[in-house]
Structure 1
Amino acid sequence: MAPTSTAPVAAVLRDDAEALAQARRLAESFAVEAAERDRDRRLPRAELDELSASGLLAITVPADHGGADVGTRTLLEVFRLLAAADPSIAQIPQNHFAFVNVLRENGTPRQQEFFFAELLAGKRLGNAQSETGSRTVQDIRTRLSATGEGDFLLTGKKGYSTGALLAHWIPVVAKDSADRLQVAYVPRDADGVTVIDDWAGMGQRTTASGTVELDQVRVPADRIVPHHLTFQRPQLHGALSQALHAAIDVGIAGGALAEAAEFVRTRSRPWGESGVDTAAEDPLTIQRFGELGIRVRAAEALLEKAGSAIDEARADLTDDSAAAASIAVAAAKAFADGAAIEVADALFEVSGARSSLDSANLHRHWRNARTHTLHDPVRWKIQHVGRYTLNGTFPPRHGHI
């Protein structure tokens, strides 16, 4: 395996504290032009290079490969901080960490050595998973076919490929001749790979979640990881992936609440009947902020509990512990979904008519929340929580719970 194109020289973070410090620093920086990037659909190219250089993209690399190997609670807090600043930037590396986990779970020692070194150098993993024309999200039509010469040809078309446009490697979910799930790690600039910047969602506008076309892409056997093995045993792949999505939703809620508070303090006028001098002194507005603050705090607490459940299960992985982790994540995701939408909507209620001006672009919080929460239907998560709570039924083994 030869390295790919040069990426920014990356810092190597040593522990959870350094990871959180970098996340706070970047979040403060990314928040400054988040509204402008959203308004202009300006892709965060420079910001992603900063993210690579910060070392945050390698924080789940195992310690024996030189990584910080941070806990899941820390990883989720990193995502929450970034999402509160700019949820598009936070969503771009979500699949990066999911596919780092695929390497951790089923990569060979040689694959792990190579790709973990790439991550420590600041390389970014994109994704090519979903297929917009298939019957369900689990229906994968992209195929890996053996050439008879020791490698494979990859053919298919993917949608919602967040991160692929600005990645160094694109992990592609495909099925082999035996109909088994595989992940092929393909260089972004490989022959036969076309990444189309055609994402046109109303929210998460700068995630570049477009289309990837794969036309007879040659893939060496040592860049293919048997993903089907993940789901033949107790697994945390789905829980981790979904927890990252939950962290983004919690971040959106917190970011919207913070901006609403700033707007009320600095730009809103009090209602004439309130008898107070400023909007921030209005007791009814204070009451609503209290309600919203409780929602955000509850979402943060459930997210932290989900991270702890994943860490506990990772330390002693059984069917029982894996199920408990997935249920904890499902509860966090279901609650965060509603909290993000409610807070982003209530922002206008507490801020008044001026907040609806397009120039303020406060509606980006609702657009982002409404768009991102469509990723996985929480009604099914609630079903699994109900079955587990009432009958002790374990959730299924797949990447969506």
Structure 2
Amino acid sequence: MPIASPFPLDPPASEMPWIARATELAVDFAQHAAELDETAQLPVDNLRRLHEAGFDTAWLPQSYGGQGLSWLSFGRVLTIVARACPSTATIWLMHLGAAYGLVHLSEEENAGFFARELAAGKRFANALSEPTGGNLFLVPLQVARPVEGGFVLDGAKRFVSGCEIADYLLVNALVDDVPAFFGVSPDDTVKLLPVWDSVGLRATRSQLITFDSTLLPQARRCTKRSEEPNPIPIGLPFLSIGVAEAALEALREHACGRVIPTTGQPLAAMQWVQFAAAGEHVRLRAATLLAAQTAWLADQRSPLVNPSSLEAKLLANEVAKDAAALGVKIGGGSGYLKTSPIQRHFRDAQAGALMAYSAEVCQSEIGKALLSADAGA
């Protein structure tokens, strides 16, 4: 007899129309993904359509004008978008992470302001990762000095996805030796250095930006502690899962459509192809279940969501890379051509493991917890 799952695998039935809406949008997103990748253009139209469909505010509490949807539905929506166009999914995830962070960590007046700006279609971006900070994006090294009205920051932040269209930046810096977070409107003191020319996720345009005596307003400082989950740690596993799904689908289409001249059989009939595809399919299922459990824990506001998110991200990152690599192996020379989606999925799959927290940092944190003296308590 099957064992009943301790957590639901699907979003509530009442939220399924949102899944259908995302699926409909994703059809068009997929048609333009290769072009956006080739030209490294921001998917502005995709982001606009997500906003107009109500997805930007859907997971905010109703008290801030949102729908209060479940994080299980968020994972499903993000997977659908990432499968179609992972650059769109990445920018959208970071946009929500910055916006929701500012709403939940700000005092009531500022929280309402940022929620209204999000609802109005304003764009948000995370400016947290420092050039010398590695994965420690929540523990800044750059010090902001006090001035009238707030603090001044001189420094730089990297991998700021969507910064070219951002109306607000979530910025961190050390204040009195303590990490502090601010909502900042970019002005002439914030400069963009267009150095982004990546191998994968090219349409994210995650540029380096510099701050030259930029005011971090005390009035926009985040001073609250919040138990509300942030979309980014919940969403990162689903980002890689979407890439893995796309990679396996491209593999399947190639294997079923490519006929071996000597046998007259498709590649899909070869046993080694079947065995390899089955292995990746099962691992993807496992990664999806672990990510879904993380989303469910977030819906319960469980303290276990953070360690679970590290495990889910680690597995999803590795599954995406392995599934994409298998696609290249089965695709052969034709899968290595720029015209093939196989090579694009391979390039995109590498990015998830590099995003903070990287796969190595996840391994380190999970390993330390597993091998700690009181782990078995």
Find the counterpart in structure 1 of residue 51 from structure 2: 52
- Aligned length in residues: 360
Instruction: Tell me the equivalent position of 2:8.
Output: none
Partners of 2:134 and 2:31 in 1: how far apart? Answer: 41
Tell me if 1:304 matches 2:292. yes
Q: Which amino acid aligns with 1:180?
A: V
Matched, 1:331 2:311: yes
The letter for the 2-side match of 1:95 is: M
After superposition, where does 1:245-264 map in structure 2 within 5 Å?
245-264=236-255
Name the CA shift for 1:389/1:236 in 2 (closer, same or farther; >3 Å). Answer: farther
Q: Which residue does 1:39 correspond to in 2?
A: 38
**2:372 counterpart of 1:382:** no
Deviation, 1:129, is: 0.7
Q: Aligned residues: percent identity?
A: 24
> How much does 1:155 deviate?
2.8
User: 2:203 aligns to what SS in structure 1?
Assistant: coil
* Secondary structure, aligned partner of 2:210: strand
**Deviation for aligned residue 1:68:** 1.0
Give 3-state SS (helix, strand or coil) of 2:126's partner.
coil
SS of residue paired to 1:195: strand
- Counterpart contact for 1:340–1:369, Cα < 8 Å: yes
Aligned partner of 2:260 in structure 1 is 270
Unaligned runs of 5+ in 2: 1-13
TM-score normalised according to structure 2 size: 0.86
Please report how far the alpha carbon of residue 135 of structure 1 lies from its aligned counterpart in structure 2 after TM superposition: 7.0
* 1:11 aligned partner: none
1:92 match: secondary structure: helix
Measured in 2, the distance between the counterparts of 1:244 and 1:202 equals 22
RMSD: 2.5
1:375-397 CA-to-partner distances (Å, cap 9, x unmatched) read 23324423443454565858xxx
CA distance in 1, matches of 2:135, 2:79: 29
Q: 1:136 to 1:288 in 2, by over 3 A?
A: closer
Contact 2:103/2:112, CA 8 A, preserved across alignment: no
- Write the distance in 1 (CA, Å) between the matches of 2:18 and 2:131: 35
CA contact (8 A) 1:131 1:157 kept: yes
Counterpart of 2:265 in 1: which secondary structure? Answer: coil
Tell me if 1:364 matches 2:344.
yes
Q: Which residue of 1 aligns with 2:181?
A: 183
Report the alpha carbon displacement of residue 184 of structure 1 after superposing the two structures with TM.
1.8
Q: Does the aligned pair in 2 maintain the 1:58–1:122 contact within 8 Å?
A: no
Partner of 2:9: none
**1:65·1:116 contact (CA, 8 Å) conserved in 2?**
yes
Secondary structure, in 3 states, of the residue corresponding to 1:137? coil
Pairing partner for 1:202 from 199, 202, 220: 199
Q: 1:257 to 1:135 in 2, by over 3 A?
A: closer
* Aligned partner of residue 34 in structure 2, secondary structure: helix
CA deviation after TM superposition for structure 1 residue 342, in Å: 0.5
CA distance in 1 between counterparts of 2:95 and 2:313 reads 19
